[in-house]
C-alpha cells in the first residue's frame, strides 16, 4: 500500500490493477477487489483444491496451498476452481 501511494504521488508508475479472477473486472485496490469478490462471487463452501479434498475460505489461500502443497502440479487458474 505504501508503494502504491508513492507511485501515484510521483506519477511515475500507473496504479497496479487488481483484477477479479472470476469476471475480469479490475479495481484499484486489494480491498475493493476483496469486497467485490465477497459480494459478487460468494463461495459458501470455500475453494476446493483440484488436487486434493482440502477447501479454503479464500482464493489466495487455495493458491498458496497449491503452490506449496502441490509443487509438481501446474498453478491453478480461476477457471479451474470447482464451485460446489
Ligand atoms: Zn468478479
Ligand atoms: Zn491440495
* 13 Cα to the center of ligand 1, angstroms: 25
Q: State whether 84 and 49 are in the same domain.
A: yes
User: Cα–Cα distance between 63 and 76 in angstroms, integer?
Assistant: 7
Q: State whether 29 and 53 are in the same domain.
A: no
User: Cα–Cα distance between 19 and 5 in angstroms, integer?
Assistant: 19
Q: Are 27 and 33 in contact (CB under 8 A)?
A: yes
What confidence score (pLDDT) does residue 9 get? 57
Burial of 55 (0-12, 13-18, 19+ CB in 10 A): middle
* 12 Cα to the center of ligand 2, angstroms: 40
* 23 Cα to the center of ligand 1, angstroms: 4
Query: How much is the pTM?
Result: 0.41
Q: State whether 12 and 36 are in the same domain.
A: yes
Grid cell locating 21: 479472477
Query: How many independent structural domains does the chain possess?
Result: 2
* 19 Cα to the center of ligand 1, angstroms: 8
Q: State whether 32 and 52 are in the same domain.
A: no
What confidence score (pLDDT) does residue 3 get? 54
Q: State whether 34 and 5 are in the same domain.
A: yes
Q: State whether 55 and 75 are in the same domain.
A: yes
**Residue ranges of the chain with per-residue pLDDT less than 50:** 79, 84
Amino acid at each position: 500500500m505504501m508503494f502504491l501511494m508513492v507511485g501515484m504521488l510521483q506519477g511515475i508508475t500507473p496504479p497496479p490493477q487488481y483484477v477479479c479472477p472470476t469476471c475480469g473486472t479490475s479495481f484499484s485496490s486489494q480491498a475493493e477487489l476483496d469486497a467485490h469478490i465477497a459480494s459478487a462471487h460468494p463461495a459458501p463452501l470455500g475453494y476446493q483444491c483440484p488436487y486434493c479434498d482440502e477447501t479454503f475460505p479464500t482464493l489466495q489461500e487455495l493458491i498458496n496451498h497449491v503452490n506449496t502443497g502441490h509443487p509438481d502440479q501446474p498453478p491453478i487458474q480461476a477457471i479451474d476452481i470447482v464451485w460446489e
